[in-house]
């Protein structure tokens, strides 16, 4: 199932000497927290309409969607599997998808390591909750995976637009959507985005546990320091769940 080789010239074959922004601080071995990390060179945009760099990549997309469509794991579990690949920084986009899918298949008992090595089934397949049939793919992709959920009666957001907040500073031992460069930083609530599936808990298999989601804006000097060229003119906004925040 592993891809035969990384295609040349893709965005992910660019400079990889940097270190993830939070790699030294967090017990969760994410390789994807790259925001603000130096040493990766400039982003090299590709022309619109370039979808594939190797003949196997469409199949990688298809098998990943089909496996995810079984409902055995969720999208946040997929993200956690991808970001913890030890050679993440040296892999192409669909190599990351494929290798993470292998991890998920083995972890959830759908295939064995021996079957991956053999390239075919060695035992009877395990039953899955559902199947994504070919006739349903277009509708499933159009529908996407909405994350907004109704709030419980009496539940109200803790913070209001314009309020000053600070993100939590501690590292966590699990997948999180709070980037390392924004931890322990003070910002201003720009907008309330609704009540959404909380990715941190969802990725651990703890259920959706929806929480209020905010857009929070940070000044560049707060994030990068006054010595960073151009920081005083920079403003960065992130979406942050309520459990990430406390009053500033």
Per-residue pLDDT of the chain (248 residues; tens, 9 = 90+): 555 444 433 333 333 333 444 444 446 889 999 888 888 888 889 899 999 999 999 999 999 999 999 999 999 999 999 999 999 989 999 999 999 999 999 999 999 999 999 999 999 999 999 999 999 999 999 999 999 999 999 999 999 999 999 999 998 999 999 999 999 999 999 999 999 999 999 999 999 999 999 999 999 999 999 999 999 999 999 999 999 999 99
Closest CA to 98 of 57, 136, 37: 57
Place of tokens 């939590």: 168
pTM: 0.85
Closest CA to 102 of 89, 85, 122, 127: 85
Closest CA to 43 of 7, 68, 18, 69: 18
Q: Identify the CATH number of the domain defined by range 11-143.
A: 1.10.472.20
Q: What is the rounded distance in angstroms from the CA atom of residue 240 to the CA atom of residue 248?
A: 15
What pLDDT sits at residue 100? 98
What pLDDT sits at residue 198? 98
Instruction: Give the fold, CATH level 3, of 164-247.
Output: SH3 type barrels. (2.30.30)
Q: What is the rounded distance in angstroms from the CA atom of residue 190 to the CA atom of residue 35?
A: 21
Enumerate residues 6+ apart whose C-beta is below 8 A from 24.
Answer: none
Task: Pick left, alpha or beta for residue 172 (phi over 0 → left; psi -120 to 50 → alpha; otherwise beta).
Answer: beta
**C-beta atoms surrounding 43 within 10 Å:** 8
Closest CA to 31 of 106, 85, 98, 103: 85
Q: Return the domain boundaries, the chain.
A: 11-143, 164-247
Closest CA to 152 of 192, 214, 195: 195
What pLDDT sits at residue 1? 53
- Read off the tokens for 65: 């969607």
The answer to whether 100 touches 82, Cβ cutoff 8 Å, is yes
Closest CA to 243 of 217, 209, 218: 209
What pLDDT sits at residue 43? 84
Parallel, antiparallel, or unpaired: how do β-strands 245-247 and 235-241 relate? unpaired
């Amino acid at each position: 199932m592993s891809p035969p080789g990384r295609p040349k010239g893709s965005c992910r074959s660019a400079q990889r000497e940097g270190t993830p922004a939070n790699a030294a601080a967090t017990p969760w071995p994410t390789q994807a927290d790259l925001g603000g990390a130096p040493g990766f060179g400039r982003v090299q945009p590709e022309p619109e309409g370039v979808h594939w760099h190797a003949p196997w990549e469409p199949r990688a997309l298809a098998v990943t969607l089909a496996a995810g469509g079984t409902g055995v794991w969720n999208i946040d579990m997929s993200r956690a599997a991808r970001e913890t690949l030890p050679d993440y920084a040296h892999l192409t986009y669909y190599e990351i998808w494929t290798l993470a899918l292998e991890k998920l298949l083995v972890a959830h008992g759908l295939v064995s390591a021996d079957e991956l090595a053999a390239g075919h089934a060695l035992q009877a397949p395990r039953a899955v909750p559902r199947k994504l049939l070919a006739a349903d793919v277009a509708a499933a992709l159009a529908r996407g995976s909405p994350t907004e959920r109704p709030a419980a009666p009496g539940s109200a957001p803790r913070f209001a637009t314009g309020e000053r907040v600070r993100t939590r500073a501690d590292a966590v031992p699990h997948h999180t959507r709070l980037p390392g460069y924004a931890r322990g930083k003070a910002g201003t609530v720009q907008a309330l985005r609704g009540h959404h599936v909380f990715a941190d808990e969802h990725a651990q298999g703890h259920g959706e546990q929806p929480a209020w989601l905010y857009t929070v804006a940070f000044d560049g000097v707060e994030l990068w320091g006054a010595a960073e060229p151009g920081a005083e003119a920079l403003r960065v906004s992130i979406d942050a769940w309520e459990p990430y925040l406390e009053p500033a």
